[in-house]
Homo-oligomer: A and B are copies of this chain.
């Protein structure tokens, strides 16, 4: 494998000059640059990233931290439970990758769990393997966040419900998304809409509730406490149980705003069992638009929260933070949009 010395020798310049060329410095004469680039091409030289990292303190690696609580035990995923969280992270991850395409950064991943007040740092940061970090989704503790800030390493929070003051964060706003669903449902003539909320960090859960209430208010519809249904876990079964209990109390909604596709499908399974047809007798809109929504029968009309765009935007954001360490923190909610499928019928 050729080194910078080989290039220098062959091009008849010094190592320093080659280095400047590699790093796109303006200090090199056009002619020299071309010469060096030709030699690099010829002998197929690629800079050794370790050497580069050692002397320049730059790794050209960016880290993605998947918060561990969000990956079920031993990071394995079970299909019938909250797979969607891993999935959600994966969509964001894909977005980050695409946002980084064309740059010379690679992505290192680490599953990490910050245990309460203990302020351990991910290995990626203590070993200096990265120039910056994406923190994907909750849960991160305040202690973790401040320990991270102290290192001076640039980082950005990205995911559902991870808005944070004074820190770069790119996120989806559940309030806005649920409100969008409510507007669509009320616009299409629904008057008895329940919220099927999921088990998730209080922040997101509460945001959904706010969006729900706002949607009711805007349409002049009354808010009923028990029409905001809370399932006890983040999966289809829990949603099934919660919705069933709600239904058996005698409540008869004409529409459901669900916290995600999994919850929606839990409710749909119950409706299927008791012979209530979607969308003929009851409409459903799912927030988040996870992959199951398009495959449901009928396909679920959903509020898509653009997870890929979220990741891509986070990539741009981190890149900028690295370039301009002192630019003001960016806190951006990615606006959701409706995906019209077949689970809503105007009344």
Contacts and interface: CB of A to CB of B under 8 A. Distances in A.
Contact of A107 (B109, B126, B297): B109
A75 B50 contact: no
Contact of A291 (B53, B87, B127, B293): B87
Interface stretch (A13-21, A196-204, A211-219, A261-269): A261-269
A321 B289 CA distance: 41
Contact of A50 (B108, B128, B236): B128
A345 B37 CA distance: 68
Nearest to A83: B291
A124 B106 CA distance: 8
A59 B54 CA distance: 12
Q: How many copies does the complex hold?
A: 2
By secondary structure, the A interface counts as: helix
B61 A74 contact: no
A299 to B, nearest CB: 8
B297 A268 contact: yes
A27 interface: no
Which one of A48, A107, A269, A297 has the highest number of Cβ atoms from chain B below 10 Å of its Cβ?
Answer: A297
A120 to B, nearest CB: 11
A74 B53 contact: no
B126 A46 contact: yes
B75 A295 contact: no
Nearest to A81: B294
Interface stretch (A92-100, A161-169, A222-230, A324-332): A92-100
Contacts of A128: 1, 46, 48-50
B50 A74 contact: no
Which one of A97, A129, A261, A291 has the highest number of Cβ atoms from chain B below 10 Å of its Cβ?
Answer: A291
A90 B97 contact: no
16 contacts: A49-B50, A49-B129, A50-B54, A75-B94, A76-B308, A79-B291, A83-B291, A86-B90, A86-B94, A97-B111, A106-B108, A106-B109, A106-B124, A109-B109, A265-B295, A268-B297
Interface of A: 1, 46-51, 53-54, 59, 61, 71, 74-77, 79-80, 83-84, 86-87, 90-91, 94-95, 97-98, 101, 104, 106-111, 123-124, 126-129, 236, 261-262, 265, 268-269, 272, 289, 291-298, 304, 308, 339
Given A79-B304, A292-B295, 18 more contacts: A47-B127, A48-B54, A48-B128, A49-B129, A50-B51, A50-B54, A50-B59, A71-B94, A74-B98, A75-B94, A80-B294, A83-B291, A87-B87, A97-B111, A106-B123, A106-B124, A236-B295, A296-B297
